[in-house]
C-alpha cells in the first residue's frame, strides 16, 4: 500500500509540473505578450483559520502558499512589505510634487546640479561650469525657501572642482573657501580629485583654523518648538524655558541662519560672524501660515484592518465591498485576495476569494483540498495557482459571493458544536461498600537471642577417704601439783570427772551442769579400779564415734558437691591425743 501511495504521489507531481509548464508557455502566447510583462497585481491578506484546523496545518499551508505564489509568472503577489515600500515612495513623490508647486525654481536648480555632475564625468568642464553656476544662483536667490542646504554646499563644491579642472585655480579656491566655511570637516577622496585641488583644500583648512569668529545668539518669537539651523545644520530647539541658542566656533564668513516651526513660515537670514570675543544677536519673528499637510503612510493600514475584519467573519456584503474598494484604490492594486483554511471530513481545504476593485465584486476561486498529513500540499497548490490565474484572466461571475459563503457557515456550525459542553452521563449510584473487618493482630514479642552455651566438661570429683587412726589415744598426764592423789592411769581426763575441790557437790559433767546430788560418786583417794578409762566399752564407743564422724563428713561433702562434681577435694581426719 505504501509503494502504491508513493507511485501515485509521484504521478500527481509529474502531471502537475507538466500542466504548470504548459500553462506557463501557453498563457503568454494567448495574451500576445512576454511572460514577465503586464502581470496583474494581487494584494493578499493574511489567511483566516476555520474551526477545527490545527495551528501546524494552518501555518504550513499559508507558508507554502506564499512561497509558491510569490514565484508565480502569471501574477504579482503583493504583501504588506511591498505595499509599505510602495507607499513610502509615493509619499516622497507627493511631497516633492507639493514642493515643486510651492517652489518651481527648486526643480530647475536640481536639474542644473545633476546635469553639471554628468558633464564633469564626461570631462566637459566648460558646459559643467555654466550649468553649475546657474544652479548656484538659483539656490542662493531662494535661500529663504531652501530646506536642504546640502544642495547649496554641493553645487559650490562641484563648481570649484570644475574650475580646477578647467585651469581656473583662483576661482576654484574662492568657491572652495565658502565650502569650508559651511563644512569645516569636509574630506574628499584623493584618488578621485586632481592633486592641485587636494593641496589647495588642505592649505585652506590650515588658514581658516586661525579665523574663527565670535558668538551668534539666535532668538525667536514664538520660541516654543522652534528649531534653529545654521548652514542647514541643526544647532538646537527653543522652548518656553530656552528662548535663545548660542552658536560659536564658526569661521569668519557668510552663513545662513534658519528658524523653522510647524504652522509658521520659514524665517531665514544671511549672517556674518563677529570678531572673537563679541556676540551678535539675531531675532526671528515667525509668521503663522496654513500649511496643507500630506497624508501619512499609516492611513492605508487602518483601511486594510477594516477590510480584514469583514473577511475574518465572512460578512461579504455592501459594507465590505465599499471598504475593499477604498483600500484597493488607496494602494492602487486592482485585486484583493483572501484565503480561508477549513477543516473537512478527510483533511483540510483552502478556498480563495478574489475581489476585483473595478467591479467591487467578490468571487470564489475553485478550492483545493489536502489530506491529513499534507503530503499532497505542494501538488494541489500548483492546481490552485492555475485556478487563480484563470480567475484573473476571466473573472468567475457565476461564483460571485453575496453574504456569508457556505464554507464559512460550515465552519461556524462546527465552532458552535465545539463550544457546546458534552452531555454529562448520569452517574449510577454507588453501592455501599461493606465494611472490612480487620483482625487485630497482637504484636509479636521479640524473640530474645539464643546464647549458645557450650557444655562444660565435668570434672570427676576426687573421692576422699577419711583416715581413722586405730592406735590408742595418748592422754597426757597433768603436771600441775594438786593436793589430791590422782590415779596415774586416769591422767588429765580424770579431772573431768573429779571434783573441782571448791565445794562438796560432787563431780561436774559439763560446765554449769551438776550431776545427781544423791549419788555417791565414791570419792576415794588413790583408787582407780572403777575409772571409766579402763572400761572396754569406753574406748569402743570412742572408736565408733570417730568412724561415724568421718563417714558423716564424707557423705555431707558428696551431697554438697554432687556425685560428679569437678571441684572435690580430699580430706584426712586424724585423731590424736597428746
Quick one: pLDDT at residue 452? 59
Quick one: pLDDT at residue 330? 87
Type and span of the H or E element at 541:
helix 536-561
Residue 288 DSSP class: B
Give backbone dihedrals phi and psi of 405, rounded to 5 degrees, phi first. Answer: -65, 160
With DSSP H G I counted as helix, E B as strand and the rest as coil, what are the percentages for the chain, rounded to 5?
A: 45, 15, 40
Give backbone dihedrals phi and psi of 362, rounded to 5 degrees, phi first. Answer: -120, 130
- Show me where the domains of the chain are located: 38-86+296-418, 104-141+146-208, 215-285, 459-496+527-578
CATH of domain 38-86+296-418: 3.40.50
Closest by Cα among 321, 238, 324, 312 to 282: 238
Alpha-carbon distance 158 to 148, whole Å?
A: 16
Out of 3.40.50.10210, 3.40.50.2000, 1.25.40.420, 1.25.40.10, select the CATH number for domain 104-141+146-208.
1.25.40.10
- The CATH superfamily of 215-285 is Carboxypeptidase-like, regulatory domain (2.60.40.1120)
Contacts of 357 by beta carbon, 8 Å cutoff, 6+ apart: 324, 325, 328, 329, 333, 334, 335, 336
Question: Which residues pair with residue 337 across a beta bridge?
Answer: 44, 354
Q: What is the pLDDT along the chain (578 residues), one digit of tens a residue?
A: 444 444 444 455 545 444 444 444 444 433 334 444 578 999 999 999 999 999 999 999 999 999 999 999 999 998 888 877 766 666 655 555 555 555 788 889 899 999 999 998 899 999 999 999 999 999 898 888 888 889 999 999 999 999 998 999 899 899 999 999 998 888 888 888 888 888 888 888 888 887 888 999 999 999 888 999 999 899 999 988 888 999 998 988 889 999 999 888 889 999 999 988 899 999 999 988 754 444 444 567 788 888 999 999 999 999 999 999 999 998 889 999 999 999 988 889 999 999 999 999 999 999 999 998 888 998 999 999 999 999 999 999 899 998 899 999 999 988 888 877 766 666 677 667 666 555 555 666 666 665 555 665 655 655 555 554 445 554 454 444 444 444 444 444 444 444 444 444 444 444 444 544 554 444 444 445 556 666 677 778 888 877 777 776 666 656 555 554 444 444 444 444 44
Contacts of 303 by beta carbon, 8 Å cutoff, 6+ apart: 323, 326, 327, 330
Determine the distance from the C-alpha atom of residue 467 to the mean position of all C-alpha atoms in its chain, rounded to a whole number: 110
N-term to C-term CA, the chain: 137
Which single residue is written with the C-alpha cell 458552535? 416
Alpha-carbon distance 337 to 78, whole Å?
A: 10
Quick one: pLDDT at residue 17? 47
CB 348 within 8 A of CB 369: yes
Length of the chain: 578
CB 405 within 8 A of CB 314: yes
Quick one: pLDDT at residue 241? 84
Prior bond of 222 cis (ω within 30°) = yes
Amino acid at each position: 500500500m505504501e509503494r502504491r501511495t508513493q507511485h501515485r504521489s509521484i504521478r500527481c507531481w509529474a502531471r502537475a509540473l507538466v500542466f504548470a509548464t504548459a500553462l506557463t508557455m501557453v498563457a503568454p502566447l494567448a495574451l500576445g505578450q512576454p511572460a514577465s510583462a503586464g502581470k496583474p497585481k494581487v494584494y493578499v491578506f493574511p489567511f483566516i483559520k476555520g474551526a477545527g484546523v490545527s495551528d501546524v496545518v494552518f501555518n504550513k499551508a499559508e507558508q507554502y502558499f506564499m512561497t509558491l505564489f510569490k514565484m508565480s509568472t502569471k501574477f504579482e503577489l503583493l504583501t504588506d512589505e511591498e505595499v509599505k515600500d510602495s507607499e513610502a515612495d509615493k509619499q516622497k513623490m507627493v511631497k516633492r510634487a507639493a514642493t515643486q508647486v510651492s517652489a518651481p525654481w527648486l526643480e530647475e536648480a536640481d536639474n542644473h546640479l545633476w546635469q553639471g555632475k554628468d558633464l564633469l564625468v564626461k570631462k566637459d568642464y566648460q558646459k559643467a561650469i555654466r550649468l553649475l553656476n546657474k544652479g548656484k544662483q538659483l539656490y542662493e536667490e531662494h535661500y529663504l525657501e531652501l530646506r536642504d542646504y546640502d544642495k547649496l554646499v554641493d553645487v559650490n563644491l562641484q563648481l570649484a572642482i570644475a574650475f580646477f579642472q578647467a585651469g581656473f585655480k583662483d576661482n576654484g579656491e574662492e568657491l572652495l573657501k565658502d565650502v569650508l566655511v559651511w563644512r569645516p570637516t569636509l574630506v574628499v577622496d584623493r584618488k578621485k580629485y586632481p592633486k592641485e585641488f587636494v593641496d589647495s583644500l588642505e592649505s585652506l583648512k590650515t588658514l581658516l583654523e586661525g579665523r574663527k569668529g565670535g558668538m551668534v545668539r539666535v532668538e525667536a518669537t514664538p520660541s516654543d518648538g522652534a528649531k534653529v539651523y545654521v548652514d542647514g545644520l541643526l544647532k538646537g530647539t527653543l522652548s518656553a524655558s530656552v528662548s535663545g541658542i548660542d552658536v560659536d566656533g564658526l569661521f569668519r564668513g557668510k552663513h545662513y541662519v534658519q528658524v523653522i516651526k510647524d504652522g509658521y513660515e520659514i524665517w531665514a537670514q544671511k549672517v556674518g560672524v563677529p570678531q572673537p570675543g563679541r556676540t551678535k544677536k539675531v531675532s526671528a519673528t515667525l509668521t503663522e501660515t496654513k500649511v496643507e499637510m500630506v497624508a501619512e503612510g499609516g492611513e492605508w493600514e487602518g483601511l486594510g484592518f477594516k477590510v480584514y475584519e469583514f473577511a475574518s467573519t465572512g460578512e461579504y456584503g455592501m459594507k465590505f465591498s465599499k471598504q475593499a474598494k477604498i483600500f484597493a484604490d488607496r494602494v492602487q492594486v486592482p485585486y484583493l485576495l483572501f484565503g480561508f483554511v477549513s477543516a473537512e471530513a478527510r483533511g483540510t481545504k483552502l478556498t480563495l476569494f478574489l475581489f476585483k476593485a473595478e467591479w467591487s465584486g467578490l468571487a470564489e476561486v475553485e478550492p483545493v483540498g489536502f489530506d491529513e498529513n499534507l503530503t499532497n500540499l505542494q501538488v494541489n497548490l500548483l492546481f490552485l495557482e492555475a485556478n487563480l490565474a484563470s480567475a484573473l484572466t476571466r473573472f468567475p461571475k457565476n461564483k460571485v459571493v453575496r453574504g456569508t459563503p457556505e464554507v464559512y457557515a460550515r465552519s461556524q456550525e462546527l465552532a458552535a458544536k465545539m463550544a457546546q459542553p458534552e452531555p454529562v452521563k448520569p452517574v449510577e449510584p454507588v453501592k455501599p461498600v461493606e465494611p472490612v473487618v480487620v483482625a487485630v493482630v497482637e504484636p509479636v514479642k521479640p524473640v530474645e537471642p539464643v546464647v549458645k552455651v557450650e557444655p562444660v566438661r565435668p570434672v570427676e570429683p576426687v573421692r576422699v577417704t577419711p583416715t581413722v587412726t586405730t592406735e590408742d589415744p595418748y592422754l597426757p598426764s597433768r603436771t600441775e601439783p594438786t593436793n589430791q592423789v590422782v590415779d596415774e592411769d586416769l591422767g588429765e581426763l580424770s579431772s573431768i570427772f573429779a571434783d573441782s575441790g571448791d565445794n562438796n557437790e560432787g563431780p561436774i559433767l559439763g560446765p554449769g551442769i551438776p550431776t545427781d546430788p544423791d549419788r555417791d560418786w565414791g570419792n576415794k583417794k588413790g583408787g582407780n579400779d572403777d575409772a571409766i578409762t579402763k572400761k572396754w566399752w569406753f574406748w569402743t564407743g570412742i572408736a565408733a564415734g570417730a568412724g561415724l564422724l568421718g563417714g558423716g563428713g564424707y557423705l555431707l561433702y558428696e551431697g554438697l558437691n554432687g556425685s560428679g562434681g569437678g571441684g572435690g577435694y580430699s580430706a584426712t581426719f586424724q585423731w590424736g591425743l597428746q
